[in-house]
Structure 1
């Protein structure tokens, strides 16, 4: 069956509609970025720590195998250019995230304008807004938005010229790797599918693109391999498999019940003893999470509970069901389904591979990216780039540029209305999230002020730049430490901390005196809900 086509040009009205949709999405991203300007997650602390190493010229310290390098490099450029620290730098980081989001909107606008179909344009922007389940995650200090932009750039390159520009194709491959080093299996799958689906010219293009990609990747792989003493692409995949599939408890002292080279002991006069993890000779806010590679290398024993085959099938099924039922139903039902119904025609499936091969490949590549995370650990923000990529593939497959509109009467009108419902609901979902972010910003500001005052009451001069000993879980309070420019130099893990809570006041005071032999200035007794009780540590000599 021959698909009826018209010239791939859009009318002035269509171009105006696309521009207005892009402007509304851009405005939403700006509002989301501003209302989340105080948000800082533990992963974000790690990226900011690595950025600080880059800014200080400590490239050896910045090179580690778990966190990817491109985002902290951007943060380092930002921090060096502005000289900001603490809460001011955090606001600037969120401005950077907004800038990345606006770049994505610009790419989407360009793709929609080139396609010329307003139906596709509405669905395209709605897919972007819904790919992360709720809204674009501008509140997360992570490279997720950067990865969305890189994957979108690769998808656009494949659609634009069937991947014929080898230098651009290779550059996007390299940027994706530097943005998220654990994406290398997906990049291999991408290259393999393009080689299988393409002709001889495509395979020649892939060889050239591979050279460019390897050159870009080598900027990180070579120093990382030299530091590791062996060839490596990073440790993220191995660690995540251990933590999620083998259920290893060694991620941080918050969970670890085994032994470690950094674990020591603290004994009271009455014989009571607790474990103390020492990070005093590190440069990180919280060493186990800012450099998991170094932390894991010193683990001496791990408690594991590997998932057997039955458990694995159940785990993967739950992850897959969450993708379909929790994270993407609005996208599937109110965005993609109406376009599929409106565009359905005889031979669509049969002719797709022959006539719209690159679009079908984008669908397959998107599904492969989602599957990669389902296998180990899936979250909405992690699968968002690949959800968007698969959605773009579906739209270009079902309604290729230049497809002639076919009259379908009442059904067509109903589906068009549903398409608008999908876009408007996506925008509203983002808008509804704004009050929640606003409330969270107020709570973050109030929490910072409470901790600041408590720090002033606990130690002369307050918490700025202080060395902290955490008594309890550290991950819930690592962001607080970073905001004050403080560093966690030691930790009494939760198992021991629970016993300390039951000690008498005299025993607790003795513990603080013993901690004074180390580098700590103030003790934080913490809980999983992020609560903090502070006490000064009086320095003493052994």
Structure 2
């Protein structure tokens, strides 16, 4: 092992901190703003959940599948700033950037409790690379989901666990559960990693209950049974047991055949009920045990987890050669608990990203400044992380642009809409504040090729389902769509339906 003479420049100085933090903030701002047109289905569901709370919609606000904290944040941002159709998605990404700043502060709080005395430049660069790889590389500010919010709270909780702050730890874990229900089974691990004293556990549990107990009580009263949420149950059914997840909910009403069309206006007055209410659509689903299916899932999960733990982290692993890895058993226990949580059900990189960061943070050596190999490895790891951080663009037309065009064409907030399309790109409906109440999926593009009387019968079925407008892909020839209006420069056409 080659040793460096003297001391390697340290990043504990104000200048070094400023450089690392400014670089992280600028990189996040670039990814967030570059992805400002992107909106995903989960983001639509969270906006609807938050709006249900603000507007007092009792039928939609107690949702066992979607957690409320991120929903409240984005919905209040929408209410306060009142963006137009083209401004909603950018606003969500501004909110996401704000959450990133909070995540950076939480991670710095954790670093101050694990960084060796006089931590070296290489150590700090490796730690920041772990943070950026988790938040911008694997979670990504292009997504409008609560995963980054959960990571923020988990980093903060890890620091509080190391500090043994019982009440603060319990409160943060309660907030983490409100961000995503997956944090609930992790809460005891965080508390026990901090202390096993009865008084500490009781104070943490009390703080957890004060922050999140009302949500558990409300869900349980609404569902008529004790429940902490259905996300785990439904994902186990879909991803392990192979329960069919049809494009439309099992209880959606078939209103037309050949082509098939479904109505789902009730019971949720939201943008797209099939994605909003899986707990409702799968009510009564019972799980069962199948050792073979579980083994297959565990095998796949383990392989994916190993890949996520290695990947660009191989540079760090190489840099540890000849060094004594740090001993941070509490941090390692938290990381392993988080990774283990997802093994039986489903491993996605955005789910386990904070735990991968904690895992490698637990192993960063205390004598990093002594090894030129580690310094080179840290730089290469940082470069590999930066190479995968990039903005994203919408897969199709910008939802905000389509929504504004529909608004200009006469679609008003709250209008019920029926839709025909090959891949259900309904994301424009939320910026337009329209409600999709019926739909016919048309992957083969047959809508404009069926006989006119049958197409008109389908449109009549949409109208009987309560739809005021019909939206469909533009036909190859405008003459094939008499009465339909082209929605500006978008690939859609619009028809006002006759009331039935």
TM norm structure 1: 0.78
- After superposition, residues 416-495 of structure 1 pair within 5 angstroms as 416-430=375-389, 433-434=390-391, 437=392, 440=393, 444-445=397-398, 449=401, 455=406, 461-462=410-411, 465-471=414-420, 476-492=424-440
Moved more, 74-83 or 90-99: 74-83
Match of 1:263 among 253, 256, 265: 253
Q: Distance in 2 between matches of 1:13 and 1:233?
A: 43
Shift in alpha-carbon separation, 1:377–1:209, aligned structure 2, 3 A: same
Aligned length: 473
> In the superposition, relative to structure 1, how do residues 293 and 405 fare at CA in structure 2: closer, same or farther (>3 Å)?
closer
Counterpart pick for 1:282 among 268, 275, 283: 268
1:235-277 Cα offsets, whole Å, 9 max, x none, are 1111111111122224650xx5xx52x414337xxxx684523
* Equivalent residue, structure 2, for 1:355: none
Query: Of residues 465, 468, 473 in structure 2, which corresponds to 1:521?
Result: 468
The answer to whether the 8 Å contact 1:129/1:136 transfers is: no
* Structure 1 residue 111 displacement after superposition: 4.1
More displaced 10-residue stretch of structure 1: 120-129 or 36-45: 120-129
Q: So what's the TM-score if we normalise by structure 2?
A: 0.84
Deviation for aligned residue 1:524: 3.7
Whole-angstrom distance in 2 between the partners of 1:244 and 1:532: 34
CA 1:47–1:526: 2 relative to 1, 3 Å: farther
Contact 1:245–1:307 under 8 Å retained in 2? no
Select which of 458, 461, 466 maps to 1:511: 458
Alpha-carbon distance, 1:216 to partner: 1.3
Mapped partners of 2:497, 2:261: distance in 1? 20
- Where structure 1 has 5 or more consecutive residues not aligned to the other structure, the ranges are 1-9, 353-358
Q: For 1:516, what is the secondary structure of its paired residue?
A: helix
Matched residue, 1:213 = 208
| Distance (Å, rounded) in 1 between the aligned partners of 2:13 and 2:171 | 32
Q: Flag the 1:365–1:80 CA change in 2: closer, same or farther, 3 A.
A: same
Unmatched 5+ stretches in structure 2: 1-8, 475-489
Choose between structure 1 and 2: higher helix proportion.
Answer: 1
The aligned residue for residue 385 of structure 1 is 354
CA distance in 2, matches of 1:406, 1:132: 26
Q: How big is the shift at 1:279?
A: 1.2
8 Å CA contact 1:34, 1:94 repeated in 2: yes
Conserved in 1, the CA contact under 8 Å of 2:171 and 2:211? yes
What's the counterpart of residue 117 of structure 1? 119
Q: Is the contact made by 1:18 and 1:112 (CA closer than 8 Å) also made in structure 2?
A: no
Of 296, 301, 314, 1:314 maps to 296
Q: Deviations over 1:430-468 (max 9, x none)?
A: 2xx24xx3xx269644x7546765x58xx9525765422
Change beyond 3 A, Cα 1:406–1:32: closer
Give the equivalent residue in structure 1 for 2:484: none
> Are the structure 2 counterparts of residues 501 and 369 from structure 1 closer, same or farther at C-alpha, using a change threshold of 3 Å?
farther
Residue equivalent to 2:232: 237
Q: Secondary structure at the match of 2:229?
A: coil
Decide whether aligned partners of structure 1 residues 275 and 307 sit closer, same or farther in structure 2, where only a CA change above 3 A counts: farther
Deviation at 1:44, TM superposition (A): 0.5
SS for the counterpart of 1:65 is coil
* Alignment equivalent of 1:335, drawn from 316, 328, 342: 316
Deviations 1:158-215 (A, max 9, x none): 22x2x2x211111122111111113222223444x538xx45xx44212211111122
Q: Which residue of 1 aligns with 2:281?
A: 295
* C-alpha contact 2:59 2:267 (8 A) present in aligned 1: no
The alpha-carbon deviation at position 381 of structure 1 amounts to 0.8
The equivalent residue for 1:375 is 344
Cα distance per residue 1:70-120 (max 9 Å; x no partner): 111112321232233533232222111101111222233344456341333
Q: Shift in Å at residue 48 of structure 1?
A: 0.6
Residue 107 of structure 1 pairs with residue 106 of structure 2: yes
What is the root-mean-square deviation in Å for CA atoms of aligned residues?
3.4
Matches of 1:378 and 1:155, distance apart in 2 = 21
